[in-house]
Amino acid sequence: MAAEDKTPPAAPAAADAPASVVDAPAAADAPAPAAGKKGAAAAGKKGAAGRKAAAGKKGAAGKKGAAAAGKAADVDHDVTFDAADSGAAKTYPKQCSALRKGEFVVIKGRPCKIIDMSTSKTGKHGHAKVNLVATDIFTGRKYEDISPSTHNVDVPNVSRIEYMLMGVDGQDDPFVHYAPIDVSGDGGSIRAPSEEMRAKLEKLLNGDLPVGITILSAMGEEALIECRTMNPETTK
């Protein structure tokens, strides 16, 4: 009879026990996500700080640019201001009903002298009309215009200045040269308005008496309109 095997049974396999030991390190890795969040948070703060710094720099740069643009605008304004015309106005306004025959008025952009005018009766719109007939003070051309009596019209600033005749050029270059009667003025040259006037001036200049001329100026134009002999006493 075979001997009974009394070897104690094998203990449950402990090979699986270390499994919990093997898995334990996984628990140790658990805090890693927290570190990742902190890193992300730090990175986020750095990114925000970077964005703020960049925005600040851009804002500062923008302010500097705006200031520079403002200065440039001031410079341009100064240039424009310096380049502005500071001379007297060429015209001034006047109520049409206040005009009189022999006075000046602007018609169709030209300086004219009124040679005739009349006023019509008040119409259905409540305004009397003024009929103007005038001639261009430089060309002699006739103009007509109608304006309500209560409206303003432009009147040219017209000046008449007398000078002493100094010389007359020939027919091919009919310029007249003049000097101020007193020492405070300026002389110059102007074209004779016609051959008839040039010849008359030349004849007077060859005489014994000094010759005076009158120059009319208005709206940026000028013309020699008169000549006459002068008393020698007035030229001293």
Spatial contact of 97 and 149, defined as CB atoms under 8 Å apart:
yes
Segment 68-101, tens digit of pLDDT:
444 433 433 333 222 334 356 999 999 999 999 9
Spatial contact of 83 and 77, defined as CB atoms under 8 Å apart:
no
Whether the predicted pLDDT of 137 surpasses 50: yes
As a whole number, the mean pLDDT across the chain is 74
Concatenated DSSP letters of 28-70 = HTTTHHHHHHHHHHHHHHHHHHHHHHHHHHHHHHHHHHHHHHH
Nearest to 87 by CA among 191, 182, 154, 159: 159
pLDDT of residue 135: 97
Whether the predicted pLDDT of 198 surpasses 80: yes
Segment 30-74, tens digit of pLDDT:
444 444 444 444 444 555 555 554 545 554 444 554 444 444 334
